Structure 1
Amino acid sequence: MRITRRIALGLSAAALALTIGGATAQEKLRIGTEGAYPPFNNLTADGKLEGFDIDIARALCEEMGVECEFVTQDWDGIIPALQAGKFDAIIASMSITEERKKQVDFTEKYYNTPPALVVMKDSDIAGAMAEDLAGKVIGAQAATTHAQFAEATFPDSDVKVYPTAEEYKLDMANGRLDAVIDDVIVLQEWLGTADGECCRVLDTLTPVEEIYGEGIGIAVRQGEDELREKFNAAIQAIRDNGTYKEINDKYFSFDAYGS
């Protein structure tokens, strides 16, 4: 009888430990981000993450009742790292595209802003059509929709790709590129710095949906429908309760969510 009671107590303790362990795991959500894409996500000199993506992630975690733990990851390895379980979701300005849907599942969009071209202030490039950029060297970040768009839209240009946005900005500022392509907000942020004084926005571009997809979403591992739907509900909640607008207005003078 005493032995049976001890076994029962032991099983109860084990069950309680498992319950606590499960709850603890659910209370912390690991978010993968790049940390090199201001003003959306950026790692400061003292090692802190900041930006629109980061603030949105924190707001979503708060809405979901979980703690955000951020993990920085190079862009070109961010999807494999998610698949390998290094983190639970990607919040890093990732476009929802058909190609990426073959590897991950996406939430609904949480913002949607257009791409743009930047050139030197004294550039003689007159427009943003393919013929205007023929023979020119265009910089873009590798493994992005912007690089894909440039290759498809400017077939007579030399599209040079870089591991990070900071690297193409450096080459542009030093006159090694004729133009660069990226999100208009990222480029405008750069133009407002000392390093970006070299350049100006040539034009914003109409995104091709086949390349840019439906906007920027949160990526989760395929089949993790419960987590994806929790994010979707939280995105809608912060849109409805004004939190999204507070974060949006901290960074932009317009609604980045788009139409």
Structure 2
Amino acid sequence: MMIATALTALGLGQAAQASDPLQVGISGEPYPPFTYKAASGDWTGFEVELAHALCATMQRECEIAPTGWSGIIPSLKAGRIDMIMNSMSITEKRQRVIDFTRPYYFTPGAYVAASERELDIPDGLDGLVMGVQSATTNATYARRELRDSGVDIRLYDQAEQVNNDLLAGRLDVILADEIAMVQFLDREEAEGFEIKATAPQHEAYGEGIGIGLRQEDDALQEDLNAAIAAVIEDGTCASLSEEYLGTDVCVYD
């Protein structure tokens, strides 16, 4: 009788846990067009809206939980958030501490500099100052492949800090996500800058962008993988990608 009661209590506890809103971790620092605040003050962007679509497909309630990028993996492991959906590349290093869903999008890194600057990459980087956001695949690639190019690599906590220092002339070139750079270059203040080249396929960039999960959350991983497949198959992912990014970056099987 006691065993039956305990099992009943466990089942109720698991059911309650499954009905709790999923805390979707995104960077507290805006990263348009993937995650940013609308005029209403609500978070929106390609990944925010895709997260809501995935949760609707799973019939789960979700809450957007802004978290500092540098502490987003510790927050996941500590249980403060349930998933990371913030342009996080699936890499071997990260897979040592967390799990991922299947990839849902992929874009390369892009070099951006003043239009008037003649830039041969990587040979022409010698003597230049390059900005990269820290704890990103672009930073990993820069450390591994550009250290011998003679470029001065400067790391920043936030992507917008990198952009602002390029505009202010404190940087000669930056390396960042291509789609984010396309959006950045649409700004009036970014007139006179352009994408000079894209980074080649490299192990630092991993397999694409996936949702980060705790290693023990197998059931959530299975549900999310099914939901990703569903929103790609029914065109929801492509529609959101075209709306926010101007192109389809979804990863198809």
Alignment TM-score, normalising by the size of structure 1: 0.88
Unpaired runs of 5+ in structure 2?
A: none
From 162, 181, 186, the equivalent of 1:168 is 162
**Residue 146 of structure 2 is aligned to residue 146 of structure 1:** no
The 3 A distance-change label for structure 1 pair 53 and 254 is same
Deviates more, 1:191-200 or 1:86-95: 191-200
The 3 A distance-change label for structure 1 pair 122 and 223 is same
From 195, 203, 221, the equivalent of 1:201 is 195
The corresponding residue for 1:182 is: 176
Alignment TM-score, normalising by the size of structure 2: 0.90
Q: Alignment partner of 1:116: what SS?
A: strand
Report how far residue 207 of structure 1 moved: 2.8
**Residue 60 of structure 2 is aligned to residue 98 of structure 1:** no
Separation in 2, partners of 1:205, 1:87: 32
Report how far residue 101 of structure 1 moved: 0.3
Deviates more, 1:37-46 or 1:77-86: 37-46
Q: Alignment partner of 1:206: what SS?
A: coil
> Deviation digits for residues 155-207 of structure 1, max 9, x if unmatched?
22111011100101110000000100111100110110123224111112223
Q: Alignment length, in residue pairs?
A: 245
The 3 A distance-change label for structure 1 pair 123 and 62 is same
1:238-253 → structure 2 map (5 Å cutoff): 238-253=231-246
The corresponding residue for 2:227 is: 234
Q: Say what the alpha-carbon RMSD is for the aligned residues.
A: 2.1
From 51, 70, 79, the equivalent of 1:76 is 70
The corresponding residue for 1:34 is: 27
Partner amino acid for 2:136? T
The corresponding residue for 1:7 is: none
Residues 117 and 202 of structure 1 are in contact (CA less than 8 Å); yes or no, is this contact kept in structure 2? yes
Separation in 2, partners of 1:75, 1:137: 24
The corresponding residue for 1:123 is: 117
Deviates more, 1:174-183 or 1:28-37: 28-37
Partner amino acid for 1:203? A
The 3 A distance-change label for structure 1 pair 175 and 142 is same
Unpaired runs of 5+ in structure 1?
A: 1-10
**Residue 37 of structure 2 is aligned to residue 43 of structure 1:** yes
Instruction: Give runs of ≥4 in structure 1 deviating > 6 Å.
Output: none
Residues 113 and 257 of structure 1 are in contact (CA less than 8 Å); yes or no, is this contact kept in structure 2? no
> Deviation digits for residues 4-60 of structure 1, max 9, x if unmatched?
xxxxxxx79xx58972x6434323111100142111111346531111110110010
Q: Alignment partner of 2:87: what SS?
A: strand
From 49, 53, 59, the equivalent of 1:59 is 53
Partner amino acid for 1:186? A
